[in-house]
Amino acid sequence: MKTRRNGLKFASRSFLILIAVTALFFSTQSLVAQEAALQQQGESGLSRHPWQIGGYVQGGFPPEYKAPFSSTQTLNMQLDFFSAGIEVGKQTRRIEGAKLLSGRGEMMLEVIPLWLARYPAQTVTVNPAHTVIPFQMAAESYHGASITPFLLRWNFNQRDSVRVVPWAQLGCGLLWTNHKFPIVIVPTDPHAGTSVINFTPQAGAGVNVFNRPNHSVNFAMKVIHISNATLGDHNPGLNQTLQFSAGYSWWK
């Protein structure tokens, strides 16, 4: 049973990554066919339309989730994320920098009104086991909202007519959940808790693919750390979660 669960877990996450890669491939291929026509319409949205307004959906998981159990033991658990949000950005008009690093800086604001973390029903194992045997955990979901007001993005576009613009970003935000998150299990403290407020320092990379001069399809991968900075009784945190997103933006 454990092998089957692990196989399903690996298959579902591999399928998520495959969908993101496949969508990026086919979107890019279809847009390449439009390149000649788009070149006649002038510059890309990044030069003539500095404001970015868009929405996206996002899903992910921690690649290796080991929650603390005792001073010498950890819990191997499964956790999945889903969210939907909007982003607003304002970038510089001039291209700065030299050679391959040239581009435009952009100040971003992200708001996620729909945020979900789900612990599926699973068999939780303890590592190293010692005298603790695996135990069953019922499915549990956490709902919340997040805001990232400090998000700096660099768009790598070397010329105004470029249609595929890769980017990288750094930021930090706040996450609120309807219950204390994440789960913490401490045998010596059955009432142990974490916090409904967490911080979300993060880094990410992605690409904007322009299907029209002021419209773009966006794909991204982010690494997000979740921690309450000792606001709660315990701060197990999630050292890293991988989040994959797809969205659409209008440039004004």
Answer for the pair 219, 248: CB distance below 8 angstroms, yes or no: no
Above 50 in pLDDT, residue 245? yes
Above 80 in pLDDT, residue 35? no
Above 90 in pLDDT, residue 177? yes
Above 70 in pLDDT, residue 215? yes
Above 60 in pLDDT, residue 102? yes
Percent of the chain with pLDDT over 70: 81
Does the reported pTM lie above 0.85? no
Tell the residue number behind the tokens 């997103």, with chain if given.
245
pLDDT score for 97: 82
Sheet containing 66-68: give its strands across. 66-68, 74-76, 122-127, 135-137
Taking only the tens place, the pLDDT of each residue in 36-92 is: 444 443 445 566 788 999 999 999 999 989 888 888 889 999 999 999 999 999 998
Domains of the chain with CATH codes? 2-251 (2.40.160.20)
Residues, the chain: 252
Answer for the pair 236, 69: CB distance below 8 angstroms, yes or no: no
Sequence-ordered alpha helix ranges (H) in 33-88: 35-39, 45-48
pLDDT band at 16 (very low <50, low <70, confident <90, very high): low
pLDDT score for 98: 78
**Cβ-based neighbours of 114, under 8 Å, separated by 6 or more:** 83, 84, 85, 145
Above 60 in pLDDT, residue 122? yes
Q: How far apart are CA 169 and CA 157, in angstroms?
A: 14
Percent of the chain with pLDDT over 90: 57
Q: How many CB atoms lie within 10 A of CB 157?
A: 22
Taking only the tens place, the pLDDT of each residue in 124-150 is: 999 998 888 899 999 999 999 999 999
- Mark 191-227 as b/e (b = at least 16 C-beta within 10 Å): ebebbbbbbbebebebbbbbeebbbbbbbbbbbbbbb
In whole angstroms, how far apart are CA 239 and each of 3, 14, 181? Answer: 25, 21, 14
- What does the pLDDT average to over 91-119? 91
